[in-house]
Amino acid sequence: MIRLRDIRFKYNSRYILDGLNLHVRPGDRIGLVGPNGCGKTTLSHIIMGLLKPESGDVEIFGKVRTEESDFREIRGKIGFLFQDADDQLFCPTVLEDVAFGPLNLGKSPEEAKAIVASTLAALKLDGFAERITYKLSGGEKRLVSVATVLAMEPNVLILDEPTTGLDEETTERLIEILTTSDLTYLIISHDREFVKRTADKVLQIKRGVICEVC
């Protein structure tokens, strides 16, 4: 589904990704670990087309993507969860925020509302629709962010540090949501315990390339 070949990316005149290869197949549940600043987030932004690599191919769903328009096609199909939920949730109410993606994908307001209702129900967030996003607690914000991503019915999920600032209970819920879904996903995290419980394969970025941990 996602295939990166020989990716090089320079940050402050240093190559943080230096000939990196990555292959995500359907059904993969990958955890990506590594120290701060090793390029984990950069890698995910390259997959989404938010950053451009200096060289190398980004192949997604069987096609090499280079232009902004190439990436527009795939953004609905790859759900991306940002590190900071305040970046992700920008609409006033949960309903509008979760509906934002489906509406962008061309759903009618009625279809979007139905998708919101079923997504919230699946995440046990019933009754959240009319809540004000910036008044949610940290854990609630995270779960609603997950809802905004799942509402687009993606084929692949990329989660960037999903457990930052979460309490145990919310972390458990997130683990349950991920492990009971049949989604393909790539989790970027420092949280070894979380990665161990959610991923089948753990990868690490070392000196700009990917190596397998276990």
119 binds other proteins (CB under 8 A): no
Q: How far is the CB of 52 from other proteins (least distance, A)?
A: 13
Q: Which is nearer to other proteins, 50 or 122 (CB)?
A: 50
Q: What is the dihedral of CA 151, 103, 75, 62, to 10 degrees?
A: 90
> By the 8 A CB rule, do 31 and 195 touch?
yes
Residue for token pair 């940290």: 138
> By the 8 A CB rule, do 44 and 60 touch?
no
Q: Which is nearer to other proteins, 5 or 113 (CB)?
A: 113
Pick the piece of the chain touching other proteins (CB under 8 A) from 25-33, 85-93, 173-181, 188-196. Answer: 85-93
111 binds other proteins (CB under 8 A): no
CA separation for the pair 25, 6 (Å, rounded): 18
DSSP, residue by residue, 110-164: HHHHHHHHHHHHHTT-TT-TTSBGGGS-HHHHHHHHHHHHHTT--SEEEEESTTT
Binding mask 124-143 toward other proteins (x if CB under 8 A, else -) reads ----------x---------
Q: How far is the CB of 19 from other proteins (least distance, A)?
A: 25
Which residues contact other proteins (rule: CB under 8 A)? 45, 48, 50, 72, 75-76, 78, 80, 82, 84, 86-88, 90-93, 95-96, 99-101, 103-105, 109, 112-113, 134, 148-149, 152
